[in-house]
């Protein structure tokens, strides 16, 4: 393996560690409530985040495919740093909204690009078969980092919210410095240069058309992307609203951080060893199992309060498995020259689901409370999951 490309793998581990060392991830709902935002306003802010993602996701993927994965990753860290600073200084709904817009743009720039950079570094060296284990290890590191961040963030927030956000900004500076050390894979460079010369005025439209054509021919990939985004939106909704859920149950921010930390450890190990599950079950069995466990977790949060922590941890378990298994399945079926753009479709669908579900959750929770709302959301997910599984069966024999 090329030494510089091999170095991308180790740099990727370090980069993703600092990327996920977000000390505000388990307290931002509490922070916004502390700053005077209602649950409905918090839901709207999250929708603004995902509407931004919906608009920018595909263009950001095209940027990574056309101008380079490294360029996209570095640009994302710069934009995110600005968002962190604004989150600290904001004093109104509008200012918080701008911060969320920038944060979403930063995530878009990173989402498909970072994953594509690792996969193509391996592919260029003929070692893409190692991706499953390497991405599982990356997911393990990310989850451990997230757990540490959640724990530290909760402890700092119990002292003063500002401390968590200041440390978060410092971490983003470190992530930016690490990202500058990536080496751009050349596996798709000739294709990109050709596109830039031939269609200078329409490069983004051309890239989008190519990616859509690929998905039309490989509909199984499209439905796996949608399925992954659906499960991701479920876990994200549970993660963010569980902050307020556990707070209402009387837990301190430190205890909530400990619960989320344990959840990150569970997610880390399920990501790391997901490949063993993949060897034992076919993809259809995996998807049905993940779906059933997530619905059980939501129902448990709604109706079995004494075991709510256990049901919360169950969503972390399924999230870790889905992250690694579905990423490997998708990446193995798409071409490198359109990889970042196609991977951006997953974030796009994630945004679509979150735009609808997150504010709906907040609105219902304001009316009837968080507990019963988990059960209602479970009912909303069931027909969507069934629809996608049926579509998957129709377009490919899953074995």
DSSP result, 167-235: HHHHHHHHHHHHHTT-----TTHHHHHHHHHH-TTSHHHHHHHHHHHHHHH-HHHHHHHHHHHHHHHHH
What digits encode the pLDDT tens for the residues 344-357?
777 778 878 887 77
250 secondary structure, DSSP code: T
Most confident of 70-79, 178-187, 245-254, 379-388: 70-79
- pLDDT for the residue numbered 193: 45
**DSSP states of 304-370:** -GGGHHHHHHHHHHHHHHHHHHHHHHHHTTS-GGGHHHHHHHHHHHHHHHHHHHHHHHHHHHHHH-H
Q: What is the pLDDT of residue 324?
A: 81
Tell me, what's the pLDDT at 103?
A: 92
d(CA 105, CA 101): 6
Average pLDDT over residues 24-37: 81
Q: Which pLDDT band holds residue 77 (cuts at 50, 70, 90)?
A: very high
Using CA atoms, how far residue 36 sits from 23, 54, 113, 237, in Å, is 20, 27, 36, 21
Q: Quote the pLDDT of residue 26.
A: 65
- Angstrom distance (rounded) from CA 339 to CA 123: 12
Nearest to 338 by CA among 182, 159, 204, 181: 204
DSSP 336: G
pLDDT attached to residue 187: 57
Main-chain phi, psi angles of 130, to 5 degrees: -85, -5
Handedness of CA 156, 161, 167, 171 (dihedral sign): positive
Q: How many residues appear in the chain?
A: 399
**Mean pLDDT computed over 145-167:** 82
3-state helix, strand, coil in the chain (%, to 5): 85, 0, 15
**Confidence band for 399, pLDDT divided at 50, 70 and 90:** very low
Please provide residue 328's backbone torsions phi and psi, each rounded to the nearest 5 degrees: -65, -40
Read off the pLDDT of each residue in 179-206 and give the average, rounded to a whole number. 61
Q: Any idea which of 88-92, 111-115, 150-154 has the lowest mean pLDDT?
A: 111-115
Do 84 and 172 form a contact (C-beta atoms < 8 A)? yes
CA nearest 212: which of 395, 345, 52, 50? Answer: 345
Which of 6-10, 46-50, 124-128 is predicted with the least confidence, judged by mean pLDDT? Answer: 124-128
> Nearest to residue 114, comparing CAs of 252, 48, 17, 223?
17
Q: Where are the alpha helices (DSSP H) in 90-130?
A: 93-124
Predicted pLDDT at 206: 64
Q: What is the pLDDT of residue 5?
A: 72
**Which candidate, 90, 89, 88, 86, places its Cα nearest to that of 102?**
86
Average pLDDT for 80-100: 92
For residue 1, pLDDT beyond 60: no
Specify the pLDDT at position 347: 74
Lowest mean pLDDT among 97-101, 131-135, 233-237, 387-391: 131-135
Residue 329: alpha-carbon gap to chain centroid: 17
| Lowest mean pLDDT segment, chosen from 188-197, 226-235, 311-320, 363-372 | 188-197
Q: What percent of the chain has pLDDT over 90?
A: 12
Instruction: Give the angle 247-252-257 at the CA atoms, nearest 5°.
Output: 90
CB 88 within 8 Å of CB 165: yes
Looking at every residue in the chain, the average pLDDT score rounds to: 81
Which range is least confidently modeled, 288-297, 334-343, 367-376? 334-343
Query: What is the reported pLDDT for 91?
Result: 87
Structural domains for the chain? 3-395 (1.20.1250.20)
Is pLDDT larger for residue 76 or for residue 67?
76
């Amino acid at each position: 393996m090329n030494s510089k490309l091999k170095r991308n793998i180790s740099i990727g581990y370090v980069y993703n560690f600092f990327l996920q060392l977000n000390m505000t991830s388990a307290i931002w709902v509490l922070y916004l409530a502390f700053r005077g935002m209602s649950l409905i306003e918090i839901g709207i802010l999250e929708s603004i985040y995902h509407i931004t993602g919906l608009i920018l996701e595909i263009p950001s993927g095209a940027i990574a495919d056309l101008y380079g994965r490294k360029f996209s990753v570095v640009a994302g860290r710069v934009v995110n740093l600005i968002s962190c600073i604004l989150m600290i200084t904001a004093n109104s709904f509008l200012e918080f909204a701008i911060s969320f817009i920038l944060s979403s743009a930063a995530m878009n720039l990173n989402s498909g690009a970072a994953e594509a950079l690792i996969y193509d570094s391996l592919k260029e060296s003929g070692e893409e078969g190692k991706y499953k284990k390497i991405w599982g290890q990356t997911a393990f590191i990310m989850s451990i980092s997230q757990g540490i961040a959640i724990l530290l963030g909760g402890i700092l927030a119990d002292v003063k919210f500002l401390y968590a956000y200041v440390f978060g900004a410092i971490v983003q500076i470190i992530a930016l410095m690490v990202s500058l050390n990536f080496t751009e894979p050349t596996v798709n460079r000739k294709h990109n240069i050709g596109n830039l010369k031939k269609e200078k005025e329409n490069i983004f439209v051309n890239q989008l058309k190519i990616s859509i054509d690929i998905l039309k021919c490989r509909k199984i990939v499209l439905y796996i992307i949608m399925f992954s985004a659906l499960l991701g939106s479920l876990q994200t909704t549970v993660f963010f609203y569980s902050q307020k859920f556990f707070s209402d149950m009387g837990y301190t921010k430190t205890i909530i951080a400990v619960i989320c930390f344990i959840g990150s450890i569970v997610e880390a190990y399920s990501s790391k060893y997901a490949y063993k599950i993949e060897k034992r079950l076919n993809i259809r069995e995996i998807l049905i199992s993940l779906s059933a466990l997530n619905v059980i977790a939501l129902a448990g949060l709604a109706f079995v309060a004494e075991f709510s922590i256990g049901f919360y941890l169950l969503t972390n378990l399924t999230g870790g498995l889905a992250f690694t298994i579905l990423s490997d399945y998708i990446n193995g079926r798409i071409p490198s020259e359109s990889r970042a753009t196609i991977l951006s479709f997953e974030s796009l669908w994630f945004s679509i689901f979150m735009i609808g579900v997150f504010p709906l959750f907040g609105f219902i929770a304001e009316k009837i409370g968080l507990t019963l709302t988990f059960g209602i959301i479970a009912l909303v997910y069931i027909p969507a999951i069934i629809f996608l599984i049926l579509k998957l069966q129709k377009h490919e024999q899953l074995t």
